[in-house]
Structure 1
Amino acid sequence: MHRFLGLRCWIEDMTMTNNWLYTGTVAHKRIGKAANAFNYPALFLCFPLSARTQLANPLFGYNRFNVFSFYDRDYGNGVDASTWIRNLLVDHQLSSICDGEVWLQTQPRIFGYAFNPVSFWYCHDSQQQLRAVLCEVNNTFGERHCYLLTAQEHGVIDSQTDLQCQKIFHVSPFFAVEGEYHFRFYQHQDKRTVSINYWLEQQLQLKTVVTGTAMPLTATNILKTVAQLGWATVLVVLRIHWQALKLWRKGATFYRKPTPPHLETSL
């Protein structure tokens, strides 16, 4: 019993100040033809890459199976997440600006399973100011593409900064691969929000909001989160197909999947 209590205290002490676990919602609202909206519970992590080995505890595996786990192979080139993002910043002449910490917002694997529609890499300068965001997007066809976002003249990114990029990657069969995304990122105390608006021909087509409230990444919170929301991660792909069926029944225009872009990353 004493050993068990001691182990539990060790787990809690090691993670008590690391507010890296978020629970919240993901909301979509399609506007215009075949209007549709939904709001689902969600969970995600947001943590500094330099501390990713500290994620490991008896309930969290780093590159190994556990209740929660994080695998480098799920991101980038599938080798080492930190090395990959640093090399990408070098390739796009951003390494001198983004010379601080990189934080990753993503869903953990739960009992070995996860599907991440999008993960966000927050790249900071040495003064802890946000200077670039990489959006790593996955579709249900096993394809991946990254959008690299920066402010005008590579300035500091804050909650008022509207970050834009051209859509060149197929995600939904009910939207064409054209138009543009507008992103905004908000963080206030323990709350984090990502807003994504999809525009086509100067008309707003889709609004997406991901929001979450942070809590310490402790063994206790992992167990509570799995009990309350673990099923939400497992149902991600099923829900994508369910919403697609609803759009088809509403008469939304269907677009066949085009050839994916040859570039891994676009600006």
Structure 2
Amino acid sequence: MVNALYPCTITHVRTAPGRYAFRHRTYLWLIDPDGPVPLPRALRPLAGFDPRDHFGGTAPTIRAGLSRFLAANGLDLADGTVRMLAQARVFGHVFNPLTVYWCRRADGSPLCTVAEVHNTYGERHCYLLRPDADGRASTGKEFYVSPFFDVNGSYRMRLPEPGPRLDLTVHLERAGIRPFTATVRGVRRPVTPRVLLRLALVHPWSTAAVSAAIRLHGIRLLLRGHPVQPRPRHHPQEGMQ
């Protein structure tokens, strides 16, 4: 199956400065970004995927935006396949802290993985990764996400392509320590009207809930005295315009 739903738990753990942790339950979609989502018209407001929400937001399709970004980095997607893990637009609203694209060549061999990160300031950044067989990859931190961390350090990620289970991990590493870890854990469910309706009822307006939760926890950290780091000017990446 190309399309799937993953009810999941997202966990954030901070160990510096100070310790803070939270869990948030939601659901994510795994799709072919240009393939149709098999839902009746009445449920489509719960499952929108718009090219304006990804990459530069100017490409005619999500795949075209991905192809433009890869071409700017010397990779040709050509006739390869893509699987995309993301939040969908729900009643016109979406916020995707992390979207992951698993890209394969036409012969099925891995081409790359792209981790697209959004912050709450309306900015986007993509990390082009070449994971090992276990989905592990490292990259420098280049993008301001949390107001309590500047852009120093590196990420160590484990992003295996989802199967029956979803199991992603992102560590921020600095000077031999890991001040922040995020995990996403879930179990695959088929895309059917019944499954989607149940998830939408359990997690109403899920994308707005994610956005609100991030801001709420940011306020709690601010009230605990965590210093806000200056936000540098964001320069769009090549292929992201």
TM-score, normalised relative to structure 1 = 0.81
1:162 aligns with 2:136: yes
How many angstroms does 1:244 deviate by?
A: 1.1
Runs (4+) of structure 1 moved beyond 6 Å? none
How many angstroms does 1:38 deviate by?
A: 0.6
Unaligned runs of 5+ in 2: none
Structure 2 CA distance for aligned equivalents of residues 72 and 265 of structure 1:
14
How many angstroms does 1:67 deviate by?
A: 2.6
Match of 1:45 among 29, 40, 56: 29
1:28 aligns with 2:12: yes
1:185 aligns with 2:185: no
Do the aligned residues in 2 keep the contact of 1:146 with 1:264 (CA within 8 Å)? no
Do the aligned residues in 2 keep the contact of 1:110 with 1:230 (CA within 8 Å)? no
- Aligned partner of 2:92 in structure 1 is 112
Do the aligned residues in 2 keep the contact of 1:45 with 1:106 (CA within 8 Å)? yes
How many angstroms does 1:76 deviate by?
A: 1.8
Do the aligned residues in 2 keep the contact of 1:158 with 1:185 (CA within 8 Å)? no
The number of residue pairs the alignment matches comes to: 238
Structure 2 CA distance for aligned equivalents of residues 257 and 191 of structure 1:
36
- Aligned partner of 1:90 in structure 2 is 71
1:172-211 per-residue CA deviation (whole Å, 9 max, x = no partner) reads: 1101111111111235641111110001122111010012
TM-score, normalised relative to structure 2 = 0.89
What does 1:5-16 align with in structure 2 at a 5 Å threshold? none
Higher helix fraction: Structure 1 or Structure 2? 1
Find the structure with the greater CA-based Rg. Answer: 1
1:101 aligns with 2:81: yes
1:65-91 per-residue CA deviation (whole Å, 9 max, x = no partner) reads: x23212122112323111121232222
Structure 2 CA distance for aligned equivalents of residues 59 and 107 of structure 1:
19
1:106-156 per-residue CA deviation (whole Å, 9 max, x = no partner) reads: 0011121111111111111234343311111111111111111114xxxxx
Equivalent residue of 1:230, what SS?
coil
Do the aligned residues in 2 keep the contact of 1:27 with 1:40 (CA within 8 Å)? yes
* Identity of matched residues, %: 26
Match of 2:51 among 63, 69, 72: 72
1:124 aligns with 2:108: no
Match of 1:146 among 109, 120, 126: 126
1:58 aligns with 2:41: yes
